Amino acid sequence: MTRDHGPRIKDAALYETLRKEGQSPEKAARIANAKANGTLTHNATHLENRTKAALLAEARKIGIKGRSRMDKAALIDAIRHHG
Question: Helices 25-37 & 12-20, crossing angle to 10 degrees?
Answer: 140
Q: What is the pLDDT of residue 38?
A: 78
Q: What are phi and psi of 9, to 5 degrees?
A: -105, 120
**Counting Cβ atoms within 10 Å, is residue 61 exposed (0-12), middle (13-18) or buried (19+)?**
exposed
Q: What is the pLDDT of residue 20?
A: 92
pLDDT digits (tens, 9 = 90+) for 21-73: 998 998 888 888 888 887 776 656 688 889 999 999 999 999 999 999 999 99
Q: What is the mean pLDDT of residues 13-17?
A: 91
Does pLDDT of 1 surpass 60?
Answer: no
Q: What is the pTM of this model?
A: 0.49
